[in-house]
Amino acid sequence: PLDERAELVVDPSALPPTGTLDLEDPGLWLSIVRANATVKIGKSLARQIAVAVAQQRLGDSLSLPRADLHDLAEAQAELVLATLAGRGLLRSDGDDYRTEIELTDGLLTVNGTALPLN
């Protein structure tokens, strides 16, 4: 299963004066946008995606037999998921992983941990 919810709110009162609007300015977006999202993904689906991504990346750089490549991708996928969970970017929720993302006043948080935007 994969469930997600996202909300994006723009604060028009935070817009700069007429004639000074620069849509390419990241600072503008950070000052006028408030967003939050929740993603819940089954651990088995997350693992399948991680294995597929790892297999593609490894296949681009290594020339291994397909079975060896798959085994290496599975090991790497487990390490990536464990690292993301260890850093708090994925929260274990029974058979699922859950992530809550918020952008408020130019500050990005993932599961309550602030992340730099640079």
Give me the mean pLDDT over the 86-106 stretch: 93
Place 90 in a pLDDT band, splitting at 50, 70 and 90: very high
The pTM (predicted TM-score) of the whole model is: 0.75
The per-residue pLDDT for range 14-46, each reduced to its tens digit, is 888 888 888 898 888 888 999 999 999 999 999
Whole-angstrom distance, CA of residue 104 vs CA of residue 118? 16
Residue 41, token pair as written in the block: 């993904």
pLDDT higher than 70, residue 118: no
How far is CA 76 from each of CA 44, 83, 93, 115, rounded to the nearest angstrom?
15, 10, 22, 24
Burial readout 83-110 (b: 16 or more C-beta within 10 A, e: otherwise): ebeeeeebbeeeebbebebbbeeeeeeb
